[in-house]
């Protein structure tokens, strides 16, 4: 997509890695150019898993660019909606997540994002959507006087709240981030009547128009009401953020979130609020080059991965993903990436060399120059130059031998169960002709020579006997 605002920096911000930018009346672009410090940008996450990977970082890096212009990012933690589960991209109902798991994941998220986002309160704030969706009755079930009072540790102090309506209301009020963190005296909540009032103006046809819902209907699969409610609750979040912060100018998310973000525009319009603009970011594919990067698919690169692991994982992506990774995961200018793309069309160009530049750049951006150089040196010593540890085992096998038998026989793993566990963890890799790939099938057979790496320190070089 092309945008011409007359400002090259803003044009690239709104186009690089962007699948779609929705700003019908141009209000957002105008405010971005004239008064960026007044802009509020919503970014919502459901902390269903604890680690942030490069796929998440694509959006976070875009948010950082907005922050550099003076915009304020609201990191909305969907601790309430995470218990429902966004069905986006799911062919089946997503399992419910326990609140304790959500809270632990949330802490991990908040600790990690500081490596990308500025966390200065001028350009950053965070809040949980349970702040407005939680009701007094959610604190404890029932008003039976036989139920003991509620004990809560706040800092070093133990507080006792009577387990009655007044006690629970006090506890709820004192836990509202709007009061404790943002120091707002006017607390915004969402009642059932507001949810129902919103639903009155959104049709069933509109909700089931989502492509993934249509796929389920076509395949005669179950479609549950709470899943259909998810976009409504996400849209209400935008309306509430407008009330709390005074603005909600833009919502940003992956292209798989476009439908949900547009529902947010509809709901804000219902309540006569300025409609948020929408930026949907292209999805980063995982190490397999096919599926969306995902921890559940074990095709991800974590932003906290060790430099050597991060470098090696980048080297394992297919050549077809190189340019997309350059665009979405690095800060290299687009003009330069275009030249790299052209060079890859030259038969004399070895994609491995381009991939090494990519791997080094990504490690540099998360771990610094020194770590990036050391990771590259380690990769070249271990794989490119054939320098493997002195104590590495070297064995010859017949073509088609099961990998598990080779490793057990040579003392690299103790049992088939350990081997299966290592495969499931993605800890066994096979380097062939300087290209590393992860072993994903416990029944793998070896038909070519190469070096097996188990974890970080175990190596075995396998030579397949010629017929």
Cβ-in-10-Å burial (0-12, 13-18, 19+) of 229 comes to middle
For the residues 312-331, what does the mean pLDDT come to?
A: 93
Residues paired with 445 in a beta bridge: 402
CA 253 to CA 214: how far, in whole Å?
22
102 pLDDT band, cuts 50/70/90, is low
**pLDDT reported for residue 190:** 93
3-class state of residue 23 by DSSP? coil
Q: Are strands 72-77 and 40-45 parallel, antiparallel or unpaired?
A: parallel
Under the banding of pLDDT at 50, 70 and 90, the label for residue 383 is: low
pLDDT of residue 12: 92
Burial pattern 100-118, b for ≥16 Cβ within 10 A else e, equals eebeebbeebeebbeebbb
Q: What is the pLDDT of residue 388?
A: 60
How much is the pLDDT for 433? 59
Rounded CA-CA distance 63/72 in Å is: 9
pLDDT of residue 74: 96
Q: Is-contact 450 462, C-beta < 8 A?
A: yes
pLDDT score at 386: 53
Which range among 94-108, 207-221, 277-291 shows the weakest confidence by mean pLDDT?
A: 94-108
- Tokens at residue 383, please? 């794989």
Question: Can you give the pLDDT at residue 4?
Answer: 72
With a cut of 70, say whether residue 365 has pLDDT above it.
Answer: yes
Between 239-248, 253-262, 360-369, 408-417, the lowest mean confidence (pLDDT) is in 408-417
Say how far apart CA 12 and CA 335 lie, in whole Å. Answer: 11
Check residue 176 and give its pLDDT. 87
Give the orientation angle of helix 192-199 with respect to helix 225-245, to 10 degrees: 110
Q: What is the pLDDT of residues 215-229, one digit of tens each?
A: 888 888 888 888 888
Residue range 123-141: mean pLDDT, rounded: 84
Choose the weakest-confidence range: 171-180, 282-291, 418-427: 171-180
Residue whose C-alpha is closest to residue 233's, from 136, 167, 134: 134
Task: Give CA–CA dist 184/244, Å, rounded.
Answer: 8
Per-residue pLDDT at 391 exceeds 60: no
Inform me whether the pLDDT recorded for 145 exceeds 60: no
pLDDT at 91 > cutoff 50: no
Half-sphere exposure of 210 (CA within 13 A, CB side): 28
Section 122-131 average pLDDT: 93
Q: According to the model, what pLDDT value does residue 93 have?
A: 38
Q: In angstroms, how far is CA 430 from the centroid of its own chain?
A: 27
Q: Please state, in angstroms and rounded to a whole number, the distance separating the CA atoms of residues 66 and 14.
A: 10
CB atoms within 10 A of CB 179: 15
pLDDT band per the 50, 70, 90 thresholds, residue 94: very low
Per the model's pLDDT, the better-predicted residue between 355 and 84 turns out to be 355
* Percent of the chain with pLDDT strictly greater than 90: 47
C-alpha to C-alpha distance for 460 and 348, rounded to whole angstroms: 32
Say how far apart CA 336 and CA 439 lie, in whole Å: 34
Q: Higher model confidence: residue 32 or residue 107?
A: 32
Residue 26 pLDDT greater than 50, yes or no: yes
Token duo for residue 365: 């951006």
Inter-residue contact 250 to 28 (CB < 8 Å): yes
pTM for this model (two decimals): 0.74
Q: What is the C-alpha separation between 161 and 140, in angstroms, rounded?
A: 11
Give residue 432's pLDDT band: very low, low, confident or very high (50, 70, 90).
confident
Residue 177 has pLDDT above 50, yes or no: yes
Structure token pair of residue 150:
């509620």
**103 and 155 in contact (C-beta within 8 Å)?**
no
Residue 465 has pLDDT above 80, yes or no: no
At residue 52, does pLDDT exceed 60? yes
- Place 392 in a pLDDT band, splitting at 50, 70 and 90: low
**441, 406, 446, 443: which is closest to 426 by C-alpha?**
441
What pLDDT does residue 137 have?
Answer: 76
What's the mean pLDDT in 386-415? 81
Higher-pLDDT residue of 411 and 246 is 246
Evaluate the CA torsion angle 422, 426, 431, 437 in order and state its sign: positive
* Lowest-confidence region among 43-57, 235-249, 399-413: 43-57
User: Which residue, 205, 256, 240, is CA-closest to 130?
Assistant: 240
User: How far is it, in rounded angstroms, from Cα 85 to Cα 101?
Assistant: 13
Distance CA 370, CA 310 (A): 14
Q: What average pLDDT does the segment 130-151 reach? A: 71
């Amino acid at each position: 997509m092309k945008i011409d605002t007359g400002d090259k920096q803003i044009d690239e911000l709104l186009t690089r890695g962007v699948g779609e930018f929705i700003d019908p009346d141009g209000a957002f672009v105008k405010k971005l150019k004239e008064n960026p410090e007044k802009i509020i940008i919503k970014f919502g996450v459901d902390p269903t898993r604890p680690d942030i990977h490069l796929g998440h970082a694509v959006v976070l890096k875009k948010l950082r660019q907005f922050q550099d212009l003076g915009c304020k990012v609201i990191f909305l933690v969907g601790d309430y909606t995470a218990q429902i589960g966004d069905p986006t991209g799911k062919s089946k109902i997503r399992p419910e997540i326990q609140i304790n798991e959500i809270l632990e994941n949330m802490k991990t998220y908040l600790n990690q994002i500081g490596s990308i986002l500025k966390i200065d309160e001028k350009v950053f704030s965070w809040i949980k959507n349970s702040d407005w969706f939680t009701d007094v009755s959610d604190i404890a079930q029932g008003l039976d006087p036989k139920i003991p009072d509620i004990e809560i540790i706040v800092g070093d102090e133990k507080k006792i709240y009577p387990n009655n309506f007044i006690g629970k209301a006090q506890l709820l009020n004192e836990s509202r981030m709007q009061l404790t963190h943002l120091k707002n005296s006017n607390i915004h909540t969402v009642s059932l009547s507001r949810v129902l009032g919103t639903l009155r103006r959104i049709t069933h046809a509109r909700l089931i128009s989502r492509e993934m819902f249509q796929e389920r209907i076509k395949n005669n699969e179950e479609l549950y009401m709470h899943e259909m409610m998810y976009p409504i609750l996400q849209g209400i979040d935008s309306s509430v953020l407008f009330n709390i912060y005074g603005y909600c100018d833009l919502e940003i998310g992956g292209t798989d979130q476009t439908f949900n973000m547009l529902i947010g525009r509809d709901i804000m319009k219902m309540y006569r609020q300025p409609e948020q603009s929408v930026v949907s970011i292209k999805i980063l594919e995982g190490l397999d080059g096919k599926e969306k990067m995902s921890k559940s698919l074990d095709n991800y690169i974590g932003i906290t991965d060790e430099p050597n692991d991060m470098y090696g994982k980048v080297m394992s992506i297919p050549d077809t993903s190189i340019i997309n990774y350059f665009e979405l995961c690095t800060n290299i200018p687009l003009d330069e990436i275009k030249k790299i793309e052209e060079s890859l069309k030259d038969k004399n160009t070895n994609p491995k060399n381009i991939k090494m530049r990519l791997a080094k750049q990504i490690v540099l951006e998360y771990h610094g120059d020194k770590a990036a150089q050391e990771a590259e040196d380690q990769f070249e010593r271990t794989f490119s130059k054939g320098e493997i540890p002195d104590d590495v085992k070297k064995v010859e096998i017949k073509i088609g031998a099961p990998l598990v038998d080779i490793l057990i026989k040579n003392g690299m793993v103790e049992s088939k169960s350990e081997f299966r566990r290592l495969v499931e963890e993605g800890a066994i890799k096979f380097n062939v002709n300087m290209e590393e790939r992860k072993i994903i099938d416990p029944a793998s057979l070896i038909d070519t020579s190469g070096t097996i790496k188990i974890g970080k320190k175990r190596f075995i070089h396998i030579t397949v006997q010629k017929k």
